[in-house]
Structure 1
Amino acid sequence: MGALTLKVFSDELREWEFIEGEGIDPTDSFGVSLRLSIRENQIFLAEPNDPSTPWLTDKGRLFFDGMFDKSSDDKQTNWEGFFSDISELMYFIDHLNLHKRNAFSFIFAFENLSLETLNMLYLLKQNCSLVELRKVESHKGFNDFESQYQLSSTLDKPKLHMSSLGILINTNPRYEGYVLNLNLRQRFLKGNFKLLNVGSMLDLTFPVYNLGSNFSILKSLAEGSHLSCQDIKNAEFPVVITNTEIFKRNDAKVFAEVLKYVNVLDTAWNNVNVLNHNISSVGIQSLNRFLPLSTEDFVNFFGLYCINASLGSTANMKKLVELHLLDIFNMPSTLPNKVLVDHNVNSINDSVYSKGQNKLFNNYFHLPTSLFLEDNETYINTQGFIKRTTKLINFKKNSKASWQITRKFYANTKSVLFFNNTKDNKLINFDSVNSFNFKNYVNFQFYAVQTLVSLSFYLTKKNLPLSSASTNNLKSVKVKVLNTKVKGWLDDFFNGNGKDSFSYNSYVLVNCSKITRSSTTNFF
């Protein structure tokens, strides 16, 4: 007799019909290796594949539920017509800029990009003066050194065992980076370790001493009037952990200067750690310092090109788009015919276009892109390791890879003569006709190699953070510290992070989030 199982289960999950593949977890910034079970171009099971981290959260196990949208239409996209129309529009705007004082620009707003697409966008910016690259997130980070935007080696297990004190500032490692939370828990179980928290009261599965949620606590630590100053003074090799959310504050850049007065930060130990919110954040900051979108960008522009960005779910973009109701952008100097290009998997920005139609935008184009794990992509995680995805599925037939669409855009701009770009046209650009040569260009900012394969030596090497060892003799600018609270966190795996593009579409994760909030809180 066979096992007594449901017929639905036996029809859906037959283990011998699965194809095993390797991928990474895109729901956080560590990119933990996964073992995926695939059948008929769909993912049915995700399990941890890293021996050092045999753990996976619910988001990592169920993120693929939000990838496959069967209700989306499969109508054919007129790719040639789109690129020809955009090229003619850019050629017309370039001639128009010759007679105007305030030149119009084409804004590329991006989020969650791979290194391939990001480098091609940077080439496009160098080739065409009309293009402006902007981040959707509103924080202004510092990327002079790697230690300012990624985790340092002090959080590795050998060095973390030397530390006796940890300070969390406006971060929740259980939901932002569960790998970091596991390392902190293992260090606490070893004994002689104390963790202080500046922010919301969190349940990190081990005791944490909460100092409060007000940002002025850092000021009291620097003055020596806080009770925890004695613990900091007697600690050995303390570590400070924060995240990129703190850089949304205007007074965020003074927190490192404040902690120097209590000897928390040591140049030789390099104990400052910045936890990122998604897998592509470190790669974006490692290339250049991109400015966030602002109201000034929407005054003199003729097009908005959104790459893997939702205008309705992002707080910064939602605020800027809704300003059209006040007629702020309808100035005499603005261009009436503006275009919105939706470079996403699905047409998620069509509702925003319908609200701002004939006021903020006049034309709408949707460029369907490939799903995650439908192309070979390269990322840099928050620890400095290079993570790669391999092509495992082929779900969307009418879609193109993001870097292929950007490369086609780049090729069309090279065929158009821009009169305002005579200086940039003389620059040496990379010939990206051959895709294999372009793949080699991706990591020129780190290593010069001939082939980009999975057996390359640098894929297993860590990008060690650099820090400034010399003291700056220049007088620092005075910054007013705001006496306000830091970001409040909810004990909910769905709302705790929310930076990936899969959780919002997952039916299982949304229902689990509703059940968790209804059982633990009384204000939802």
Structure 2
Amino acid sequence: MAKVVEVTINSIKTKVDSGVTILQACELVGIEIPHFCYHKRLKIAGNCRMCLVEVVGGSPKPVASCATPVTEGMTIYTDTPKVKKAREGVLEFLLINHPLDCPICDQGGECDLQDITMAYGRGLSRLDEMKRSVPKKDFGPLIETAMNRCIHCTRCTRFLSDVAGTYELGGIGRGEDMEISTYIKKHISSELSGNIIDLCPVGALTSKPYSFKARSWELSHCNTIDILDATCSAIRLDYRDFEIMRVLPRTNDEINEDWISDKTRFSYDGLRVQRLDRPYLRKEGKLKPVTWDEALTVAAEKLKGNRIAAISGDLADCESMLLLKELMQSLGSSSLDCRQNKAKLIAKNRGAYVFNTTIAGIENADLCLLINTNPRIEAPIINARLRKNYLSGNFVVASVGPDIDYLYDVKKLGDDPSILESIAAGRHTFCCALSNAKNPMLIIGQDALIRDDASSILALASKIAEKFNMIREDWNGFNVLHKAAGRVGGMDVGFTPKRGGKDTEQILNAANSGNIDVIYLLGADEIDMTSLGSAFIIYQGHHGDNGAQKADLILPGATYVEKSATYVNTEGRVQRTSVAVPPPGEAKEDWLIIQNLSKYIGHALPYDDLNDVRKKLESIGPQFRNVNKVIKNKWISINHNINLSKVPFSLKEFNFYMTDPISRSSQIMADCTKSFDTAVNQN
């Protein structure tokens, strides 16, 4: 427990933890200290000098409050004439070379330099010399630069070095010639690069896709979550009229802190192109628009047969999967699956398919074993948390899988699956580190679970977790890392085959051989469309992606920004989206489409509104009764005969920027793919 010290701030005595800085102590008592270089998530630099305060009995000059820790009995003043004059002087120097282009700067209205100058500046300048000129730099398709505005706070360089781990920005030159630049004039390729736009306190770094599109005061805001990966980061949608203009992070210490990935931030342009805005029916080989009545009548007629199946996609929400499951069961079919990647997840063992340690809990671990996963592109936010723990010291990371760059030191144990068997038996040299760890954890990637021997790998991981003290009352270090936001929710609501039913692979094989007549694709775009054979395909989704191109009947749904829907992230946390804009044209919320369809079929589902559906969700499990919380899962050992393949671990080709119908429709994501040459080869 931290020692408490008493300090006096502006004649008010207060107690704070020892080790905090003066700036942090002032924030705790509600006193604002202006600053540029300081950020609570970054290492302290102390180079802008805007946060100067006066310490009685200490230095005769004002001190930088961001870099000065409090001590017992310290007396601090933040508003004396000396402090006021010092701040005015700092601002005057910062503005010597700052261009007066506020009217055309995208940071206008959200600029720290504007706000602080208004509050603490002199209001006039004594300097009329020529201003310094800095050439414009090309950081890639995402970040627009105007380096004349840069005040050298170094937030961007510290973020890319410490948080992202790519070391792509730095200072070159000295004195008046210093510039922030990429060292070899290359694009910034980090999957988290967009966060330096938020960090920049001036307009030196802004969003290139958003340039000159809108002003901050023109926009309305909507707090929601991202669903383009299984982390489900907290985000804010900024929109004007019916168009999403930008996506920004919301602070959530338990998930994404203050960061979001570039796909989350920049793929919003895909929300308005290639949209399905009306029902379509294939007639004479071509999809033609029809009315909702005709579309639902055809769907109802087709689904009355015996040989039907359903597959849900990566972006499907819990409400629609629940209703489709109940509809299929009412029709006598239990051939349904949410695992379109064919991962061998255990349906009735929740602890075996979620990230039990939790994202925030990573910081409490002292060892991590990665099993055939690359968190950098599968879950950049989780990878940043792993790196954060690594930089704090005493965190050992090892991997069983291909040799790739993890952005932190990793002990590469090899890519032979038999290494897991050796560890489980206690014969491997890494067992010593596992035994000595207090809070060890392991992370299994999805590419380990789509192999033929996935059941054996899960069983071995379970044995390793139990053998090396990963499963305790106060700790669970067994983790499955998902890529899709709809996967855990699908498992939770039971969108998996029951006894006698078929899973995704069996459904596709049966369709290919002519043994299934109708397949209902609930946003399922990642399956092998060539395996659908001659089956009648009903596609419910929001984009003209793979499923829509193969479909015989299209029912237009809503994206996550157009509906209130429930999702469960990789750690099993239930969260909900909010409506920012309405669906285009005749498109409807997904649960409502299935509810209406059930009436046409003659098996009307007993739900009048969304609240009724959510009451049913709450009856399924405690996770749905505790929104925004992580529920502790009962541990059930995974027992399976070990029969490992001799095929080495490998990672599937994976283009981080294009993983779903929304990002594949995004021109910005296409530009990133081209610019960064992500030839989707991780190895």
Amino acid at match of 1:141: L
Q: Say whether 1:18 aligns with 2:219.
A: yes
In 2, the alpha carbon distance for the partners of 1:117 and 1:182 equals 32
Separation in structure 2 between the aligned mates of residue 506 and residue 447 of structure 1, nearest angstrom: 37
Cα deviation code 1:223-258 (max 9, x no counterpart): 555332332233332111113332212222223543
Q: Once the 2 structures are TM-superposed, how far is the Cα of residue 499 of structure 1 from its aligned partner?
A: 4.1
Identify which range, 60-69 or 213-222, moves more after superposition: 213-222
Aligned partner of residue 129 in structure 1, secondary structure: coil
In 2, Cα distance between equivalents of 1:14 and 1:219: 58
Most deviating of 59-68 and 80-89? 80-89
Q: Distance in 1 between matches of 2:226 and 2:277?
A: 27
In the TM superposition, residue 222 of structure 1 has moved relative to its aligned partner by 3.6
With over 3 angstroms needed to count, the CA separation of the structure-2 counterparts of 1:143 and 1:124, relative to structure 1, is same
**Which secondary structure does the structure 1 equivalent of 2:559 belong to?**
coil
Is 1:364 matched with 2:552?
Answer: yes
Residue identity over aligned pairs, in percent, reads: 22
> Using the alignment, how far apart are the partners of 2:239 and 2:579 within structure 1?
12
Question: Residues 251 and 39 of structure 1: is their aligned pair in 2 closer, same or farther, counting only changes over 3 Å?
Answer: same
In the alignment, is the contact (CA less than 8 A) between 1:127 and 1:413 conserved in 2?
A: no
Change (3 A) 1:227 1:235: same
- Root mean square deviation of aligned Cα: 3.3
Contact 1:146–1:286 (CA under 8 A) maintained in structure 2:
yes
Q: Does 1:391 align with 2:602?
A: no
- Map residues 145-156 of structure 1 onto 2, 5 A cutoff: 145-153=349-357, 156=360
Q: 1:347 to 1:386 in 2, by over 3 A?
A: same
Q: Distance in 2 between matches of 1:256 and 1:431?
A: 38
Local SS of the residue matching 1:301:
coil
Of 610, 613, 622 in structure 2, the residue corresponding to residue 438 of structure 1 is 613
Per the TM alignment, residue 196 of structure 1 is displaced from its structure 2 partner at its CA by: 0.1
Q: Aligned residue for 1:306? A: 521
Is 1:226 the equivalent of 2:428?
yes
Alignment check: 8 A CA contact 2:355 2:571 kept: yes
- Following superposition, the deviation at residue 379 of structure 1 comes to 1.0
Q: 1:67 aligns with which of 271, 276, 286?
A: 271
Q: Which amino acid counterpart does residue 49 of structure 1 have in structure 2? A: R
What displacement does 1:340 show? 2.1
**Partner of 1:284: helix, strand, or coil?**
helix
- Which residue of 2 is the match for residue 120 of structure 1? 323
- Partners in 1 of 2:419 and 2:480 — Cα distance? 19
1:466 aligned onto 2:634: yes
Residues 463, 39 of structure 1: alpha-carbon distance in 2 compared, 3 angstrom cutoff? same
**Could you say which residue in structure 1 is the equivalent of 2:528?**
317
Q: Which residue identity is paired with 1:36? A: L
* Equivalent-residue separation in structure 1 for 2:632 and 2:333 (angstroms): 36
Q: In the alignment, is the contact (CA less than 8 A) between 1:373 and 1:392 conserved in 2? A: yes
Q: Quick one: distance in 1 between partners of 2:217 and 2:457?
A: 55
Bigger radius of gyration: 2
Please state if 1:282 is matched with 2:488.
Answer: yes
Match of 2:406 in 1: 204
Q: What is the correspondence of 1:20-419 to structure 2 with a 5 Å cutoff?
A: 20-52=221-253, 53-69=257-273, 77-91=290-304, 93=305, 104-111=306-313, 112-130=315-333, 132-135=335-338, 136-153=340-357, 156-157=360-361, 160-161=363-364, 163-258=365-460, 260=463, 263-264=467-468, 266-268=470-472, 269-288=475-494, 289-290=496-497, 291-294=503-506, 295-298=509-512, 299-310=514-525, 314=526, 316-318=527-529, 320-321=531-532, 338-349=535-546, 353=550, 364-414=552-602
TM-score w.r.t. the length of structure 1 is 0.78
Distance 1:21 1:90, change over 3 A: closer
Partner deviation per Cα, 1:429-467 (whole Å, 9 max, x = no partner)? 962234442343232212599xxxxxxx72233222221
Match of 2:648 among 466, 479, 485: 485
1:165–1:238: 8 Å Cα contact kept in structure 2?
A: yes
Work out whether 1:511 is the aligned partner of 2:671: yes
Number of residue equivalences: 455
Is the alpha carbon distance of 1:263 and 1:413 closer, same or farther for their aligned partners in structure 2, counting shifts above 3 Å?
same
Deviation at 1:505, TM superposition (A): 1.6
SS of 1:485's partner is coil
Are 1:150 and 1:382, in contact at CA under 8 Å, matched by a contact in 2?
yes
What is the distance in 2 between the residues matched to 1:348 and 1:503? 11
- Distance in 1, matches of 2:586 and 2:275, equals 15
Q: Structure 2: how far apart are the matches of 1:520 and 1:343?
A: 28
- Alignment partners' CA distance in 2, 1:488 and 1:63: 24
Shift of 1:71: 8.0
In 1, distance between residues paired with 2:681 and 2:450?
27
1:4 CA drift (Å): 5.9
Unaligned runs of 5+ in 2: 1-99, 107-208, 280-288, 498-502
Structure 1: gaps spanning 5 or more residues: 94-103, 330-337, 354-362, 416-428, 450-456
Flag the 1:460–1:223 CA change in 2: closer, same or farther, 3 A: closer
- Do 1:167 and 1:197's aligned partners in 2 also have CA atoms closer than 8 Å? yes
Distance 1:77 1:398 in 2: 11
Please give the residue correspondences for 1:410-429 in structure 2 after superposition, counting only pairs within 5 Å: 410-414=598-602
1:286–1:435 distance in 2 versus 1, CA, 3 Å: closer
Q: Is the 8 A contact 1:65 1:507 kept in 2?
A: yes
Q: Tell me: higher relative CO, structure 1 or 2? Use CA pairs within 8 A at least 6 residues apart.
A: 1
2:676 counterpart SS class = helix
TM-superposed CA distance for 1:70, in Å, is 6.2
Distance 2:268 2:662 in 1: 7
Tell me if the contact between 1:106 and 1:132 (Cα under 8 Å) persists in the aligned partners. Answer: yes
Task: Name the aligned partner's letter for residue 337 of structure 2.
Answer: R
Runs of 4 or more above 6 Å deviation: 6-10, 70-75, 518-523
How far apart, in 1, do the equivalents of 2:649 and 2:355 lie? 21
Which position in structure 2 is the counterpart of 1:3? 102
Q: 1:358 maps to what in 2?
A: none
CA contact (8 A) 1:385 1:459 kept: yes
The residue identity in structure 1 corresponding to 2:298 is D
Matched letter for residue 17 of structure 1: E
